[in-house]
Chains A and B, each alone.
Chain A
């Protein structure tokens, strides 16, 4: 059974909640995926529409664990502030830490990532850093207090699968005891199966399910692939 920050998880699939055709499809896809962890985010709330309140009730009804992200943050300061806001709203110390360094590929700014991870860990957060497969960065993130790493397979939303097999294998070999979650770039269930074959602990994906012709069947297919 997968253990992350002391929590045991039966499912090795983490699912994003973004870009589904409707809330009903989102709900059905999460159930079909059998995921126990879904990623969520924060956005500006208009007092009139209160769109966020409706979304939050849907997620709470699913009874899954939430992993809030700091998507869209380009600086350490922004990411740290967003993490604090997420901890209060979602009532969890878990944070998927994203510090974006490059707008076209949404490649992580690994320097800012390490710094933000250090600050947040010291403040009691349990950090899931969205990183590259770089070994030295991984080492620094662990030294900063991270006990899970989330290397990308390929850029977010690209669906390219595991882009750098050599780098990912090296990462797995260097850190045999650290939970490693492939985050981003997974396009089809066979990519997820490949991640498991290489010994990764779990995969996190969103677009491949949300934007599939049939998101619910695709979610079920991913559940079988892992």
Chain B
């Protein structure tokens, strides 16, 4: 299936958010996730099922004012 990751379409075989992060190469990176505009806490990622067309946001610390 295809999901939109940070605005770019990606093909994935992962069934849940935790698996998708591994597959996409985020590994142990410090990131926060939102699926279709809803925050998904790290602990809930294994239970967050993915479906075709989902929008995933993966955010990390950056400089800010």
Contacts and interface: CB of A to CB of B under 8 A. Distances in A.
Contacts of B30: 52-53, 56, 89
A39 B26 contact: no
Contacts, number: 110
Contacts of B59: 42-45, 52, 82, 85, 89
Among B31, B33, B42, the one with the most A-chain Cβ atoms within 10 Å of its Cβ is B31
Nearest to B31: A45
Among B39, B59, B61, the one with the most A-chain Cβ atoms within 10 Å of its Cβ is B61
Interface in B1-54: 6-7, 24-26, 29-34, 37-39, 41-42
B61 A50 contact: no
The dominant DSSP class at the A interface is: mixed
A48 to B, nearest CB: 7
A68 interface: yes
A40 B61 CA distance: 7
A146 to B, nearest CB: 20
Contacts of B24: 47
Given A56-B30, A88-B32, A40 B7 contact: no
B64 A46 contact: no
A67 B60 CA distance: 15
A88 B33 CA distance: 10
A16 B65 contact: yes
B64 A45 contact: no
Interface of B: 6-7, 24-26, 29-34, 37-39, 41-42, 57-65
26 contacts: A16-B64, A17-B65, A20-B63, A39-B64, A39-B65, A41-B62, A41-B65, A42-B62, A44-B6, A44-B57, A45-B29, A45-B58, A45-B59, A47-B25, A55-B61, A55-B63, A56-B60, A59-B61, A69-B65, A77-B37, A81-B38, A85-B33, A86-B32, A90-B61, A156-B65, A206-B65
List the 9 shortest-distance A-B pairs measured between CB atoms, nearest first. Answer: A41-B64, A52-B60, A16-B65, A85-B32, A45-B60, A206-B65, A47-B25, A84-B39, A56-B61
